[in-house]
Amino acid sequence: MRLDILPLRQPMHIDTIDWAALSPGEARRLRELGFDAGVTVETLHRAGWLGRGPIACRVGRMTIALRRSVAAAISVSPATVPAE
Amino acid sequence: MNPAPLVALVGNPNAGKSALFNALTGARQKVGNYPGVTVERHSGRMSLPDGRPVELVDLPGTYSLEPSSPDEAVTRDVVTGTQEGERLPAALIVVVDAGNLDNHLRFTLQLVALGLPIVVALNMIDMAERDGLKLDPQALSEALGVPVIPTVAVRRRGVDELRAALAEAVGDGASRAVAGPAVPPADMSALQRRARELSKIATLSETPVRRITHGIDAVVLHPVLGPIILAVLMFVMFQAVFSWSEAPIGWIEEGFAALQGWITASFPESMLRSLIVDGVIAGVGSVVVFLPQILILFLFILLLEASGYMVRAAFLMDRLMAGVGLSGRAFIPLLSSFACAIPGIMATRTIDDPRQRITTILIAPLMTCSARLPVYAVIIAAFIPAHDVGPGIGLQGLVLFCLYLIGIAGAVLAALVFRNTIAKGAGSGFLIEMPRYQMPDLRDVLIGLWQRAWIFLRRAGTIIMMVTIALWALLSFPQAPAGQSQSEYSIAGRIASGLEVVVRPIGFNHEMALAVIPAMAAREVAVSALATVYSIDAADEEEASQGLVERLQGRWSLPTALAFLMWFVFAPQCLSTIAVMRRETNGWRWPFFALAYLFGLAYVAAGATFWGATALGL
């Protein structure tokens, strides 16, 4: 499932990130903010009417806001171990 | 004599670096600029426990040594000793958020690899504990191989211990230049894995994260409540800017008027007296009068920033701003510009993408600021009939509202054009950490306020002063013989005659051409300038505008008046704004571009209005 359509408050594992779909700047910042395969991620909030704005999600102990276009490059699957 | 050893404060954004910088240096700070870039250099003095002075420099926050903005490039260049005008630091203080070790330790590892002496400040340890983390600084220190000092910068905890550890790291003060200009190639994933291992070593126990922050976010980011709360906050901010600033602005104006009156009464008439009264004092007054609004706006902006809400506001507004190629970060600067473009432009520093920042700076003057209101009020009172066009909707109010809308529409168009031409590029979009909420520290806020005020007064003030004096000279020379109007006879009057040729096609007359010249100092000056050229003797602005309304009604046609309104929607008639643009973009290129495009827009819009209204037979 893609992160941009993931329902709120469902901890998932990041399977893959399609780095090629992102600009070099976005890709680097995403890594710097702790996004990587195997990391647990959970969407917390969606901004804007009809949820078309950016998404806030939890990665590690941080909350990160990102646009849906970036979230669409991140594939997630159900966590096999309970979230921390 | 050798200069004091340089120590650099480095860390991720949101690690509490600036608070620690304030705690270490107190108010002994200097704000400068790195050569050639618009990055501020914050430095200050502190003394080590043995009394030796050290120069501390607060580097821009960054996530790694691979820069994605000019700020981050400065950080990399300083710690590698390649920054122009900066010596290699003798030691680094690396600030990490104790509640976010996974992420912050990765950058620490990169810095440790440089080989400079390092002290790690394990900052915001109280918040980490509040969030259910138990940490072992000793274990972290052993694993990293550098001293680790737990600190709470906003409460000044751990500061003495940090000083002691720093004294040891600095040693004899000679920079051990083991770090070359080359940054070791970083394997981000490997560093991240190592950071997670270290974080595990340092963590004794943890419970689920950030209850308080998540609790607040559940309310302020709520799909319905969130935007309402933002709107209420912004409304309160605007109310405060206008109602709190009214009295101080009055005092400043009265104070300067009293000073002018005293000098006029005490000294014989001379060129020098005129220079001091009408040039220098009027010039300083026109700068200082902006201070109350700037300080109040910045008080709110600093509080929103320090509490952690600013990023949430950007999050809520991102979708809207994305429509014109900007990000949510541009929202607060643009909103502030409705009060005054000066703090708005100064607030664009929080926009990390340089192209979005330039675009925001360029369109900020199109937001209808408070200085336009006196001009709008006079012209609307004179030419727009005060009857209702609908239940509770007056025509005058409707026209005023339309002027605001036209400004916004112009800004939207300009932003779209710029983002597709001169400021083209996808940029970094909106990808940002949402920091924890915290109580802003009064001292940190006051230091921030003082720095903004000082930058405005000193940097912008000098330019504004010079131009005001030049304007004075244009209006005072050559001196008119008896019986002739000084404003007509002066250089400005002659320029106005030349200008008249240019503005005649858009419906302006000679008096209007003469009024827009001194109004370059500030828009509201147009009112008193018009009063002067229509020779109205009035004690104050209010009286002047009342007399003016009657004079104008007989002399201007409606198309001319509408063209004049339209001119003031777009024309960049504010030297302070231009001076702040120069300061914030570090050169004359963008201010000149802004002058050209805004005057161009003003000319076209006023002309179109004049001819449109004439064709309609108004």
CB spacing of B63 vs A32 below 8 angstroms: yes
For residue A17, tell me if it sits in a domain: yes
A37 assigned to some structural domain? yes
Provide, as residue numbers in chain B, all residues whose Cβ is less than 8 Å from the Cβ of A84. 206, 208
pLDDT of B514: 83
Place A83 in a pLDDT band, splitting at 50, 70 and 90. very low
Q: Does A55 map to a domain?
A: no
Q: Tell me what percent of the residues of chain B surpass a pLDDT of 90.
A: 38
Residues B405 and B476 in one domain: no
Full residue range of the structural domain in which residue A41 is found: 1-49+73-78
B132 falls within a domain: yes
What per-residue confidence (pLDDT) applies to B610?
95
User: How far does B67 lie from chain A, in Å, by closest CA?
Assistant: 9
- A63 near B CB under 8 A: yes
Mean of per-residue pLDDT scores for chain B: 86
In a domain, A27, yes or no: yes
Residue A56 lies in a domain: no
> Does residue B332 share a domain with residue B292?
yes
Query: Per-residue pLDDT for B468 more than 80?
Result: no
My answer on whether B66 and B179 are in the same domain is yes
Give me the number of domains chain A comprises.
1
Give the whole-angstrom CA distance, residue B491 versus residue B479: 9
Question: Is the CB of B315 less than 8 angstroms away from the CB of A64?
Answer: no
Instruction: Report CB contact under 8 Å: A84, B206.
Output: yes
Give pLDDT, residue B191: 85
Take residue B418 and report the two structure tokens written for it. Answer: 């710029």
What gap in Å lies between CA A64 and CA A66, rounded to an integer?
6
Same domain, B163 and B229: no
In a domain, B76, yes or no: yes
Say whether residue A70 is in contact with chain B using an 8 A CB cutoff: yes
Nearest residue in chain B measured CA to CA from A66 = B431
ipTM, two decimals:
0.93
Q: Does B383 touch chain A (CB under 8 A)?
A: no
* Residue B232 domain-assigned (yes or no): yes
Do B498 and B420 share a domain, yes or no?
no
DSSP state of B30: E
Report the pLDDT averaged over residues B554-583: 91
Per-residue pLDDT at B575 exceeds 60: yes
DSSP state of B480: P
Instruction: Tell me, yes or no, whether B189 and B271 share the same domain.
Output: no
Which of B430, B436, B437 to mutate to test binding with chain A, by most A CBs within 10 Å of its CB? Answer: B430
User: Under an 8 A CB cutoff, do B318 and A47 touch?
Assistant: yes
pLDDT tens for B380-432 read: 988 998 888 888 788 888 898 899 999 999 999 999 999 888 888 766 678 88
Q: Is B426 on the interface with A (CB under 8 A)?
A: yes
Q: Has residue A54 been placed in a domain?
A: no
Out of B102, B315, B427, the one facing A34 most closely (by C-beta) is B102
Give, as one character, the DSSP assignment of residue B523. T
Whether B182 shows a pLDDT value over 70: the answer reads no
**How many CA atoms lie less than 13 Å away from B542 in the CB half-sphere?**
0
B549-561, pLDDT tens digit by residue?
888 888 899 999 9
For residue range B140-149, list pLDDT tens digits in order: 999 999 999 9
Q: Would you give the DSSP letter of residue B316?
A: H
Q: Give how far the C-alpha of residue B92 lies from the chain's centroid of Cα atoms, to the nearest Å.
A: 29
pLDDT above 80 (res B151): yes
Using the beta-carbon criterion (under 8 Å), do B103 and A52 form an inter-chain contact?
no
Higher-confidence residue of B593 and B467: namely: B593
Instruction: Answer yes or no: do B147 and B291 share one domain.
Output: no
Of A29, A48, A67, the CB nearest to B68: A29
Q: Which of A29, A47, A62 sits opposite B315 (nearest CB)?
A: A47
DSSP B177: T
Task: Please check whether residue B525 is in contact with residue B574, taking contact to mean a CB–CB distance below 8 angstroms.
Answer: no
Q: In terms of residue numbers, what domain contains B500?
A: 462-615
Which carries the bigger pLDDT value, residue B167 or residue B283?
Answer: B167
Residue A51 has pLDDT above 70, yes or no: no
Length in residues, chain A? 84
Return d(Cα B88, Cα B174) in angstroms, integer. 10
Compute the average pLDDT of residues B475-504.
82
User: Rounded mean pLDDT of B26-40?
Assistant: 78
Minimum Cα–Cα distance from B102: chain A residue: A60
- Mutation to test the A interface, candidates B315, B316, B320, most A Cβ within 10 Å: B315
pTM above 0.90, yes or no: no
Model pLDDT, residue A26: 86
Residues B198-214 pLDDT 10s: 988 888 887 765 678 88
pLDDT at B210: 67
Q: What angle do the packed helices B354-363 and B395-420 form, to 10 degrees?
A: 150
Residues B380 and B261 in one domain: yes
Looking at the structure, do residues B308 and B398 belong to the same domain, yes or no?
yes
The answer to the question of residue B218 being in a domain is no
Residues B279 and B356 in one domain: yes
Higher pLDDT among residues B287 and B535, named by residue: B287
Q: How many residues does chain B have?
A: 618
pLDDT above 60 for B447:
yes
Q: Quick check: A38 contacting B, CB < 8 Å?
A: no
> Concatenated DSSP letters for B561-612?
HHHHHHHHHH----HHHHHHHHHHHTSSHHHHHHHHHHHHHHHHHHHHHHHH
User: What pairs with residue A12 in β-bridges?
Assistant: A41, A78
Tokens of residue B578, six digits: 């231009």
Residue A41 domain-assigned (yes or no): yes
CA B259 to CA B256: how far, in whole Å? 5
Instruction: Please give the single-letter amino acid code of residue B201.
Output: I
pLDDT for B203 equals: 87
B244 or B284: whose pLDDT is higher?
Answer: B244
Q: Comparing C-alpha atoms, which of B510, B542, B537 is closest to residue B524? A: B542
Residue B216 belongs to some domain of the structure: no
The predicted-structure confidence for B77-120, as pLDDT tens digits, reads as follows 999 988 888 889 999 999 999 988 988 999 999 999 988 999 99
CB contact under 8 Å between A32 and B64, yes or no, is yes
Q: Are residues B399 and B265 in the same domain?
A: yes
Tell me: the pLDDT tens digits for B334-379?
988 988 898 899 888 878 788 899 999 999 999 998 888 888 888 9
Which CATH number do you get for residue B29? Answer: 3.40.50.300
pLDDT surpasses 50 at B324: yes
DSSP codes, B332-353: HHHHHTTT-HHHHHHGGGG--S
| pLDDT score for B207 | 73
* pLDDT tens per residue, range B270-298: 888 888 887 788 777 777 877 888 898 88
Tally the domains of chain B.
3
- pLDDT attached to residue B545: 67
CA distance A66 to chain B (A): 5
- Chain A residue numbers touching B430 (CB-CB < 8 A): 54, 65-67
**Token output for B2:** 């050798």
